[in-house]
Chains A and B, each alone.
Chain A
Amino acid sequence: MSSGRINWYKYAAPANFYPLAGKMIPWFALLTALLFIVGLYVGFFVAPTDFQQGEAYRIIFIHVPAAWMGMFLYVLMAIYAGIGWAFNARLASMMATAISTTGAIFTFISLVTGSLWGRPAWGVWWVWDARLTSTLILMFLYIGFISLQSSIDDPRRADRAGAVLALVGLINVPIIYFSVQWWNSLHQGATITAKSFKMAPSMLASMLILLAACWMYSIAVVLVRVRYIIREREHEAPWLAEAVALS
């Protein structure tokens, strides 16, 4: 007799999660489109020109969200991988694998847009400060995770090995960040400190709206991908053929 509470645990089973995800994807896709349109409109037509950097600063509306997504998605990936390993939960591991590609792409975007912003803003394409260096390391961590998982044929071994790697990497990133910061502080003149940037409310708004857009995009894309992963790995399962036909 249901007391009205949803049993969330049932969605830990791929068979139940698959149709649920399928229903959610269109909504997230719609939100993605809407938020991108609004965010870009505010960023290009409402936000004023910057006093110091001219129009070039408008890159930050996508650069900063991409950088944050790269970082958040890594943490999320490591958490899912850890859960999948600790509780032997296949679906959680599949989520980690699904997230890895999107996280890597956002990290790459943040590196490229960061360079494209750095050149007009501070005159250099690249600088070895703590933030950029850590982002580069994050890129390597994603590549390592993806390479490791693709090299292992046994899916469960791939899941668990990825979990160890992701978690070790998670601990490593702050250590690298602080060691590079220390290293930079002792090499005066090699750093270009980010000039403090006065942000008008419309600038912040655009950035936050586009961040939300990136989140909606990520959720949509990850849900699509995890459904494909489920289909690939559970292809023998009796419930699958019908579920695929339905959605």
Chain B
Amino acid sequence: MNWSKFFSMGGYALYVWGSYGVTFVLLGGEVLMLLKRKRDLAKRESSPGA
């Protein structure tokens, strides 16, 4: 497996890895936002008078 060829993607590394990078950053960000929402909810539910 020629790793250098894999990473350079025939010179299109910016476009290909940029695309997948953006995708996973955004989807990961969505998951992180949900985790934050869960924490905020837990905080609100555990505080008195909730």
Contact = CB atoms under 8 A, between A and B. Distances in A.
Interface stretch (A104-112, A146-154, A160-168): A104-112
Interface residues of A, number: 31
A28 B16 CA distance: 27
**Contact-residue size bin, chain B (C-beta under 8 Å from the other chain):** 20 to 34
Interface of B: 6, 9-12, 14-16, 18-20, 22-23, 26-27, 30-31, 34, 37-38, 41, 44-45, 50
24 contacts: A49-B10, A54-B11, A54-B12, A59-B15, A62-B20, A66-B23, A102-B30, A109-B23, A109-B26, A109-B27, A112-B19, A112-B22, A113-B19, A113-B22, A116-B18, A120-B12, A217-B27, A221-B31, A221-B34, A224-B34, A225-B34, A225-B37, A241-B45, A244-B45
Given A55-B11, A62-B19, A221-B34, 13 more contacts: A49-B10, A56-B9, A59-B15, A62-B23, A63-B19, A101-B30, A109-B26, A112-B22, A113-B22, A116-B22, A117-B15, A225-B34, A235-B44
